[in-house]
Each structure stands twice: as C-alpha cells, then as structure tokens.
Structure 1
C-alpha cells in the first residue's frame, strides 16, 4: 500500500518564511508591538505569547519526563495503548520506515508515548528531543502541533518557522486531540511530523479522522466490556509509603546526589565519595554482587583480604546513612543488592542515545561519572558511558550536535571527531577555520 504522505502538495503560507522568522525574533526580543506580528496567523501569534508567558526558551530542549522504565509501565496502562495498532494502520500503512513522516501518540499532558515512522526522520527529529518520554506541551517547548492542539482542544497545523522553538523550525506538523468518548475530556494527542507533506489539507483530514476513529473504537470496547458479567471485587492490600523513583546523580560530581520521591514525600541526600562508589556499583549491577566482587570493583583486586574488612565497615556506614535518608534503599546482603531499583543520570543519557535524542543526551551529560574516582568498577562504567556517547554521536548526530560535543572536556582533544565535523560542514562555513586550527594544534602536540 502506498504511503498517504507521498502526495506532496505544498501548503501556501499566508506569509513568507522570512517574515515569520523576523516577527518571531522581534517578539522574543521584547518587541511585542512590531508590525510584522500582525501578519502572522492569530493562532500562532497567540501561542507564541503563551510560550513567552510560560518562560519557554527559544532554543530550549524538551524535558524528558518519563524514563525508559517509567514509560513502559505508563503507556501499557494508558487508554490509547489499546488502539495503537489502529493508529499504525491508518497513518503508517505499507513501509513505515520510508513514509517520510513520523507519527507520535502522546498523553493529555503532551508527553510522547509512541514515536514511529520514517527511520531517517526519526533520527533527525530525535536530535531535537522528539522522542518517547519527552514533554511537548506548550509550557515545555512552546508552539508545536501536539502541545498547541491540547491547549486549544482542536486540530492544528504548525508550519516550519511558526514553531516557537528555533530548533524545531525545520519541521512541520499536524496534530489532533483524542477525547474520552463519553466524558469528552482529552485522553491524548495524535501528531504527524515531517516536511511540507505533514501540513497538507489531506494530512489534517487524516489526523482528524484517525482521532475520531480512535474515539469510536474506545466507545465500542467500553460498551462491550460493560456487557460482560462483573468480576468479584478484591480488596487491595494497604499501601506503604514506598518510593516511586530513586535517582543517583553521578555525572560531573564526586559527591553523588541521591534523589528519592514517592507519594507525598521527596528527599535529596549527598553521599561521600566512597558511599557514592558503593551505591553506583549496586545500581549498575542490579542482579547483586558478592562481597568479594564488590570489593574488587571498589578497591581493586590487589587490595586482597584488607578489602573485605574495609568493605564491611563501609557497608555498615552506608546502611546507617540510608536508614535516615532513604530506608527503602538500604542494601540487602548475600549478595549485596538493592531492593528498589535505582536509576542513575548516566543511565538516562544512555537511554536518550538509544532513543535517538542526541542533543538532549548531550545536554544531560554533565561530565564524566564520578570523575575523581579511581575505583576500577567506576572507571569501567565511566568509560562505557563516554564511549557510548561518542560512538552514537559520531554515527548519527547532526554537525551542530557534534560541534557542541567537541566543546566538552570529553572531546576537546578528539582529532577524529574534529575531522568528522570538518567533513560535514559546508565548504564556505565560517566554522571551518577554527576547526582546522584546532586540528593542526593537536597534530603538532603529538
């Protein structure tokens, strides 16, 4: 079946791209009375002003609201999970990897739960944070079809320069909200993103029709469920105040920060260098570690029997510290392990790379893992994260992201990276001269 997005009828814009860009620049600069703004569509102009009121940055990356683990559980329970195959069938028939667009399904808060479609478009849009788990509400990224459709509770199309976020302006998108078929409250949003083919009249009709079809399917499923005999109710066990999320922040810091949140509580604790190493190793090796193996990872194999004695003492102190700060995270023994899963900010970077959100991953990379630590296990994990970041960016990231990576301490002396950036830049780019100078200096120092 041919792709419905293959008919590339360009939308005739009400004003030129250049005029819209200049109007946007004037508004962001504080010139809300500039005459050019009157020529921008009222829908877009109002959305820009809401974006300013929400203090959205003109080049802000969307926040990643859901980690990979949270995303999996959340979308499994979401009402739209039951109709995701219908979305694929209506908007991505045939060879979805070559459709020219990506299709996203988000929740009522604007968080993207599914992003599928053209492989190359997914890679490029992922570079600006259009990935599963990211928040694309107006409050987070400004004017864009998913968030604006939710805000206005109607289908919208946003073309190129009409996006508030400059990073998103190469793209165009159509989106429509999906409602609960009975209460009419918004359940989520359907979005199609790509080039001009994503904002044709046909695109808006398809997105609108898909949203209505989903609502009809949800109603049929609900009526069918009501016709079935009721199941006997079970009393739920009493709930304890358990943590819902624990994050260990180790990037660019030696005194790690432990953040624990749950229903009605939130704690933030700072850990000393040794406790940070121990907790990181337990977070990385989630299956658990023997005392001997944990000692090797923290003290080194050459430490011998002394490591076992020191480890036991340090684990006693770590347990005491966690009993006060986060009781649910007190490590268990034989093997040493954590009863609650602890995510690290380093793992979040790796997850972003897996989703193709290269620019967001680079922004989240605050530096090396526990940079002053000489614990063998920490050094190994530090290298794993750094290499994964470098390889993913060099394989798939845009030249702008690579140039930003080249300015970090992790890549400052990376001649191969600098040469790749040089090869990707246009022949007349003013950035080439600086790269050539850096490469020549590094080669001379060898």
Structure 2
C-alpha cells in the first residue's frame, strides 16, 4: 500500500484515538492492523514507545548461533537481492529467526544509525508480543507477507518507519525458518517493496529446496589473529596474509563493527586526528587489492564474510567462565602499538575482563601465568591474590607477598598491566 502524507497523518490520528480510548476495537485502520493492535494490548505492549524490544543474545552468542542457522547460507543471495537496493535507496534489510530475533541487519549506514535508536539491531526481539505491530513480527504471527506503514505500528517509536516482511519456510516440510524484512521510509510503503521481499523469500525457499538437507552452506569464515602482534594475520582457507599495521587496524575495526560503516565513522575509529576522505579511500583501495573484492566491500565499508577472531574467542571463553583456557589463548594485548581509538577501547575492555576473571576466580596456575607475563609483572593486586591463594608456609607464598609489598612500597600503580607494556613498546 502507498502511504501519502494524508494517509500517514490519518493513521497517526487513529493510533492516538486507540491509545486514548484504551478500550474497544481500533477505528480507521485495516482489519489486519486492528487485530494486531488488539493482540498487542492483550500482551501488555506499551504503545507510547517507552519500552524498546529486548536484546536476546550478546554479540558473541549471536555470532555462534547465526553460523548454524538454516538461513546463514542464504545471506550472499539476500545481499544480492535486497542488500544493494538498501544501500542505494536509504533503507535496511533484516533477516530474523522464528521468534522475531533479528540475526542480520544491513543496508544504508545512516538508516542503520536511525534504526539503532529504536533498537532495530542484530540480537533484538521484534516479535509482535514484545515489539508491537511490525512487519517481521506480524508476518511471523500470521504466517504470510505483510506491510506495516507508519502509524500502523503499535509502538509510537516506529511511526517514522514503514516495513514489509515475508516468512521463509522449508518447502519440503512446511517448517518456518525465519523472516525477511525491508524497513525504511516512504519507498518501503509501496507495492514494489512488498513484492521485492516476497520474491526474495521465494528465491531463498527455492534454493533451500534444491539443497540436500534443506540448508545452503554458509560462507566460509576467515580467521583473524591480532592478539599480541602489531601485524595481524588473516587466514582464508589456509591462505595466510600478514597485514601491515595500518591494514591490521582497518580490518580489526571492521570486524569489531560487525557490519557496514561509512568512511566518516571508520575514520573516527581509526584516529583522533582527522583523516582526509581521499587518504582513507586510497588506503582502503590498497587493502581491497590485498584482500580481494569478495572479502572487502564498499558503500558501506564492510567485511563480506564471517570473521572468527582470536580476541572474540578469548571473550567467549571468559563469558563461559573458562578462565584458565581464556588466559592460555591470550598471547598479549590487541594490536599493542595501535593508537586507533576503537582498537584501544576494545584492548582495554578485554584486558579488564581477563584480569578481573583471573583475580576473581582463576586458578593458582593462571595467577602465576598472569604475574609472569609482561603485562602482569607489576600488578600488585595479582601478586597479593596469589600470595593469599598459595598454601600457608609455602616459599612461593612468601615470595609473592614480598613482591606485592615491594610494589606497594615503590608506589607502582595498581593494575598497571597493559599500560606499562604499551609504554615500553612506544618508547
């Protein structure tokens, strides 16, 4: 359905009347929307937009879950069918699970930033009962393609958006696999947008039906090693590339972002000094020559295949409470010489998580490895915890306690850690 300015205004007025009345059926909207609003009211969804959809999974959990999802292998096809238009026309496309969790959200970088404000992001639950009337959630509820325009959304936070969505099924069993969605402005409130998302769903279903087991093979992940080294290693199916320090920063920054970014946003993550756009474009052109166009995309800049990183592996082990394994996988700080703000922020965060876990619940072996490392040798708290953990009367306990006292006497800042290492590296 097309949405003129008059119809958009009428829909918002109908929504306002429904909210104020707080009883009785909705007036002035399609039956599909009225029924959905009634379901949302029964579920206790707030129509004022004051509650945003919840996040179901952390980034680490989501990445692992996506790799095994039946629609993971369809992403190259979907990027071809929906992604190019999204980047060009200023909207986003999303792929969701059967419970409305958004697994992939890609497209125009400015639209992605606006979508973040209403938590239309990867990992968020956009089922009807949690987010109100919306195309992906309502399509899953009804089991068919739907289009929701402006004020038809139950939550006022989404009234500036229009969306079209279609479910995806396994044609052999009828099992629901997920949902495809297009979200944006006036261009999405049109029949062609609904036709496009329907066609994409049909194309995916047809591809899955031709594939043994009903799942397309997911794109092979590349492995990125950037801990304890200034030149990252990128392993692509056994082909290992050693990246320059600058290219290492760019690839790490793109991997941390997890989706496409504009040149302006990438520049802010790479330097506190202003980077001329021409300089950044030239650097990315050189990087694309190294990686190939199948791995590095533009408009927006993005890594086009899944990336497994050593720093995410360490963080994942920590989240599971496997402290000793996390420390064993940690050869040093992330790109230790890098002064890129995004890299520095993640480097500090990972160090704090690891150090905190070692001090709070690590074994004696982990504590010993920590204080023996270049970044933990002056950590007064770690030495003190080690002294308390070792058996009474142990010579090692006495030595650890003496080291802690020496450090306190020398007024060494507590938990100097990586800062000391980085200072030595830069001197």
Name the stretch that deviates more: 18-27 or 47-56. Answer: 18-27
User: 1:193 aligns to what SS in structure 2?
Assistant: strand
The count of aligned residue pairs is 261
Partner of 1:124: 114
- Contact 2:379–2:415 (CA<8 Å) still a contact in 1? no
Question: Alpha carbons of 1:29 and 1:277: their partners in 2 closer, same or farther (altered >3 Å)?
Answer: farther
The one of 148, 152, 171 equivalent to 1:181 is 171
Is residue 2:357 matched to residue 1:279? yes
Runs of 5+ unmatched residues, structure 2: 216-316, 322-353, 392-412, 420-427
**Cα distance, 1:98 vs structure 2:** 3.0
Q: In the aligned structure 2, how far is the partner of 1:220 from the partner of 1:18?
A: 46
Is residue 2:371 matched to residue 1:292? yes
User: 1:22 aligns to what SS in structure 2?
Assistant: helix
User: 2:75 aligns to what SS in structure 1?
Assistant: helix
Question: Alpha carbons of 1:282 and 1:73: their partners in 2 closer, same or farther (altered >3 Å)?
Answer: farther
Partner of 1:267: none
The one of 67, 74, 77 equivalent to 2:58 is 67
Partner of 2:395: none
How do 1:424-443 residues align onto structure 2 when only pairs under 5 Å count? none
Q: In the aligned structure 2, how far is the partner of 1:106 from the partner of 1:165?
A: 19
Question: Alpha carbons of 1:72 and 1:277: their partners in 2 closer, same or farther (altered >3 Å)?
Answer: closer
Q: In the aligned structure 2, how far is the partner of 1:123 from the partner of 1:302?
A: 40
Partner of 2:94: 104
Q: CA RMSD in A?
A: 3.8
**Cα distance, 1:134 vs structure 2:** 0.9
- Contact 1:98–1:119 (CA<8 Å) still a contact in 2? no
- Contact 1:144–1:164 (CA<8 Å) still a contact in 2? yes
- Contact 2:97–2:179 (CA<8 Å) still a contact in 1? yes
Is residue 2:45 matched to residue 1:56? yes
The one of 27, 37, 46 equivalent to 1:38 is 27
How do 1:200-215 residues align onto structure 2 when only pairs under 5 Å count? 200-215=190-205
Q: In the aligned structure 1, how far is the partner of 2:151 from the partner of 2:176?
A: 27
User: 1:74 aligns to what SS in structure 2?
Assistant: helix
**Cα distance, 1:33 vs structure 2:** 2.9
For each residue in 1:66-97, what CA deviation from the matched residue of structure 2 results, as whole angstroms up to 9, or x when unmatched? 21111111111111111111111112337x53
- Contact 2:162–2:186 (CA<8 Å) still a contact in 1? yes
Runs of 5+ unmatched residues, structure 1: 1-8, 226-242, 248-275, 317-373, 381-446
**Cα distance, 1:48 vs structure 2:** 1.2
How do 1:94-243 residues align onto structure 2 when only pairs under 5 Å count? 97-222=87-212
- Contact 1:158–1:174 (CA<8 Å) still a contact in 2? yes
- Contact 1:26–1:32 (CA<8 Å) still a contact in 2? no
Q: In the aligned structure 2, how far is the partner of 1:51 from the partner of 1:244?
A: 38
Partner of 1:76: 67
TM-score in terms of structure 1 length = 0.51
- Contact 1:291–1:308 (CA<8 Å) still a contact in 2? no
TM-score in terms of structure 2 length = 0.53
**Cα distance, 1:163 vs structure 2:** 0.9
Q: In the aligned structure 1, how far is the partner of 2:361 from the partner of 2:54?
A: 23
